[in-house]
Amino acid sequence: MKAIVLGGGIGGLATAVALDRAGWQVEVLERAPEFGEVGAGLAVLPNAMRALDSLGLGDPVRALAVDGAQAGVQDVSGRWLSRADAAELRRRYGEWAMVHRADLLEVLRAKVPAEALRPGVHVREVHADGTVVHSAGTSTADLVVGADGVRSATRRSLWEDAAPPRYAGYTTWRMISAPVPVREPVETWGRGMRFGYAPLADGRVYCYAVANAPEGSGGGLAELHERFAGWHDPIPALLAATEENAVLHHDTYELPCLSTYVRGSVVLVGDAAHAMTPNLGQGACQALEDAVVLGSAVRGVRTRAVLADALARYDRERRPRTQMVVRRSRRIGEVAHWSSPAAVALRDGAMRLMPRSTFVRSFAPILDWTA
C-alpha cells in the first residue's frame, strides 16, 4: 500500500516515519526547496517523548536536548506567581526535552527513506480518491496525509465549508539569543504580554514574546526592547544578546474544530487538522501523537475497505483529544493575556495561592498520554 504525505514539517515527517515502520511505501511532498526548519526552540513534552520513543527516535532527540521542564511563572518584577516542582513533574509525567526545531526535524528526516523525500513540490489540490495535483504533475496513492500546516491546501480542497484560521488576538516573536547564563525555563506574565525563555543544549537561549496586538501589526527587535524594558533579569540581557535577523515574528492563529479529520482516502494530521495557540507547547507534540496513532491504525491494512475502518479509528481516537487540547490552550491564552489592571491583580493573586500539587495535577489530561 502506498501513502503520500503532503508537507514535510514535524507532523509530515513523523507520519512518514510511522507509515514506513508500518510497512507502507511512502512519499513526502514538500513545497520548500529542501527539508529543514528555520527557527527557534521547541518544547517536547512527556507525551511527545513517548511518541518519539515509539517511533524509535527518543534517544537521538535526547542526545540533542536539555531538560525543558517549566520552572514556573513569574510576574514582571521576577516574583513567582506559580513555582513548579520540576522533579515532581518529571516523576509524575516523564521527561521534558527542549530542542532546537532544526535538530528535531533533522532526526525525523534522517529516519525517512531518502528516496521518499520530494522537496520543491507544491501541492495545489487534493481529491478524496487519493489523487494529488501538484507543481510536478499528478500523483495517486491509497492514502493521502494532509500535513501541510495551518494554511493547508488539503483542508481547503476537501473541507470546503471549514472556517479559515482565526486570529487569537496576540502576536508572537521567537528568537535564539547568544549564550546568557539561564538556569531553567521560565515564563513571565505581565498585562497583555508574556516573555518566556529556556536554555538550549549549546548554551544559547530560546526566547519567545507574546503580546496583544491587532492582526498584522508588530515589528522587530526594537519593539521588543521597548515592550519589555523594565522586566526582570535576564529578559533585557537576553534581548541584548539577540541579533535582529534571529527574530521570527508571526501572528497567532488556531483553526476552528472539524467534525471529522477524514475524507475518503485523505486524512489530516498536525496543524492542518488542529492548529492551536502555542500556550501549552503542544502543537508539535500532538502532531507526533497523530503520527504514532495513524501508523498503528494502518499497520497490516491491505485493502481500501479495511483502510476506511482504520482511518475511522484514527479519527475517533485523535479528534476529541486534539480538540480538547486546542480548547485548553485557547483558555490559557485568554487568561494570560488579560490586560486590565484589576483582572491581572486578581489572576496573579489566584496564581500565588494555587498549591503546587494542583499545578502538577492540571497537566494530567494532556501529559498522561501513552502510545
Q: Does 31 bind ligand FAD (CB under 6 A)?
A: yes
Among 190, 199, 283, 295, binds ligand FAD (CB under 6 A): 283
Q: State which residue, 289 or 348, has the beta carbon closest to ligand FAD.
A: 289
> Does residue number 192 form part of the binding site for ligand FAD (CB under 6 A)?
no
- Residue 23 has what DSSP assignment? T
Residues 6+ apart with CB under 8 A from 177: 204, 205, 207, 238, 239, 241, 242, 246
Q: Using the rule CB under 6 A, which residue among 54, 177, 242, 282 binds ligand FAD?
A: 282
178 C-beta neighbours (distance < 10 Å), count: 13
| Residue 133 grid coordinates | 495535483
Residue 92 near ligand FAD by CB under 6 A = no
Q: Please, are residues 273 and 325 in contact by the beta-carbon 8 Å criterion?
A: no
The answer to whether residue 95 forms part of the interface with ligand FAD (CB under 6 A) is no
CA dihedral 71, 75, 81, 82 (to 10 degrees): -20
* Under rule CB under 6 A, residue 285 binds ligand FAD: yes
Stretch binding ligand FAD (CB under 6 A), from 27-35, 182-190, 293-301, 325-333: 27-35
Task: Name the minimum Å distance from CB 233 to ligand FAD.
Answer: 23
CB of 261 closer than 8 Å to CB of 268: yes
Among the listed ranges 283-291, 297-305, 307-315, 346-354, the one in contact with ligand FAD (CB under 6 A) is 283-291
Q: Is the Cβ of residue 21 or residue 304 nearer to ligand FAD in the bound state?
A: 21
Residues near ligand FAD (CB under 6 A), total: 32
Give all strands (DSSP E) within the chain, no chain letters. 2-6, 25-30, 41-44, 66-67, 72-74, 80-83, 97-100, 117-119, 123-126, 131-134, 137-140, 143-146, 166-177, 186-189, 193-199, 205-212, 248-254, 262-263, 266-268
CB nearer to ligand FAD: pick between 274 and 296: 274
> 10 or 258, CB closer to ligand FAD?
10
Counting contacts by CB under 6 A, is residue 333 touching ligand FAD?
no
Report the residue number, 188 or 282, with the smaller CB distance to ligand FAD: 282
172 lines the binding site for ligand FAD (CB under 6 A): yes
Show contacts with ligand FAD in window 214-253 (CB under 6 A): 250
Report in angstroms how near the CB of residue 70 gets to ligand FAD at its nearest: 11
Nearer to ligand FAD, 79 or 124 (CB): 124
Q: Which of residues 109-148 bind ligand FAD (CB under 6 A)?
A: 122-123, 147-148
Q: Contact between 12 and ligand FAD (CB under 6 A)?
A: yes
Task: Give the three-class secondary structure for 212.
Answer: strand
List, in order, residues 6 or more apart from 100 with CB less than 8 Å away. Answer: 40, 41, 42, 64, 176, 200, 201, 206
7, 121, 131 from 118: Cα distances, Å:
10, 7, 16
Task: Judge contact between 234 and 197, C-beta under 8 A.
Answer: yes
CA dihedral over 29, 30, 35, 36, signed as positive or negative: negative
Q: Which of 29, 238, 301, 307 binds ligand FAD (CB under 6 A)?
A: 29
List residues binding ligand FAD (CB under 6 A). Answer: 6-12, 29-32, 42-43, 122-123, 147-149, 153, 172, 174, 208, 250, 270-271, 278, 281-285, 287
